Structure 1
């Protein structure tokens, strides 16, 4: 983080267009999440996402990106991110990470959530709750004048007390006309100086949190990232605009894993 980076500032016209892309990405993500159920395959969810994109006159921001073969990333259980839809059957108790990125009108919308397939055990519920809350802890720091490092550090600071760890090899990022723009947005406090956030900056903030060790491995397909101890991992993401006031979540959606919905207490 010591290297000075040029973070793009979006104009009011840019933001209007980006808001449309982000709202579309959020809608597709929510519909894909509702489609997750035991007995379906991850490939069926990917195909459904492709249909939804076609209906909404947008394209996948992932398909073909550096050779990625899926329309969305769909990652199961110990798979952290970048999972590829296949004939893998979703089973009761699985958790599915769904990451939807689309291009519409020349702008990107990028967001992700973790979805339980039927009932899941208490520890996995706690993992989802902690990860989703860490996203909102980070978002609360997406304010004019805040150091980026404070936003990044908020994720790890929230999940560590529960015994969970953050993935360090993969990070969030700036987003706009391109899927990956400056700055990098890790889920831990980076060393050295960090830039201050300014209105018009747009960040894809995406906690990737493991139930066990933080280490990960990329499978032989060249994409799918799994936890080294094969314990579950959780992933939530929003595209967020820094404004003169409170953060503006461009991919806004109802919170999926709140304590109230899951009926658990995180400190219990």
Structure 2
């Protein structure tokens, strides 16, 4: 069952989402060759707690860390470790936080130093597909409309759309109804309702859509070993239209990037 939120609850969820947005912005300045993902994890936990929030992933389903960090061919759910990042890597950083008893859940894929043009395109198209999907999150549409839009956009560039892992509703629980696949058919699935909040998160592979799982029980990899990218926003349905609760603004400030990509999803 989809749980609609009041306007007051949505504002509380915005605070939770912004804890994560600021955490990703802090990490953006730390991601460089030679840094370990375990170091990033430690920084993130300290930063989240300093904002009066609780790490949302730590202990959730027995996950051992604050961040899911997934470099290169890892799609999602990578466990932080002591292996240093290398020049030319890419890394998905997925972070959650609990504040006001609500979850924020938000992800960004970072280049580590200079990456190839092929990898740059994967990152660019995957991030663009996130906004392509968000535009379809509106009153009158259904889950399949968002999935169809993301799938069509990314597959038109020759990429594989992961099927087994999906976005989701968000609220007092990390995972609420509805599931939000990144593939689908127009007009299918649950109908969107005013006040619902979802995490939309394309997970897009450079090659095959097929994946496999490591023996750690968490880490998901592309089956062909090619890179994967992952971007995620928290979005509320307000006045029939999508409104972003999370933001990449802090990431862009840290990296010196100018962008107005989020402007259309800000309501006055």
Instruction: Specify if TM > 0.5.
Output: yes
Instruction: Verify: 1:110 aligned to 2:105, yes or no.
Output: yes
Matched position secondary structure for 1:247: strand
Structure 1: 4+ residue segments shifted above 6 A: 255-260
5 Å matches for 1:1-268? 6-189=1-184, 193-254=188-249
Give CA deviations for 1:102-143 in whole Å, capped at 9, x if unaligned.
001100011000000000001100100110000000001111
Indicate the RMSD between aligned Cα atoms, in angstroms: 1.9
Structure 2 alignment gaps of length 5 or more: 250-254, 261-268
Q: Which moved more, 1:126-135 or 1:51-60?
A: 51-60
How many residues are aligned here? 255
TM superposition shift of 1:199: 1.4
Q: Is the 8 A contact 2:49 2:55 kept in 1?
A: no
Q: Is the 8 A contact 2:137 2:242 kept in 1?
A: yes
Q: Is the 8 A contact 2:180 2:200 kept in 1?
A: yes
Q: Is the 8 A contact 2:143 2:188 kept in 1?
A: no
Matched position secondary structure for 2:125: helix
Distance 2:185 2:110 in 1: 29
Distance 1:243 1:106 in 2: 21
Q: Which moved more, 1:98-107 or 1:188-197?
A: 188-197
Give CA deviations for 1:189-209 in whole Å, capped at 9, x if unaligned.
159841221210101000000
Distance 1:222 1:257 in 2: 36
Q: TM-score, normalised by structure 1?
A: 0.91
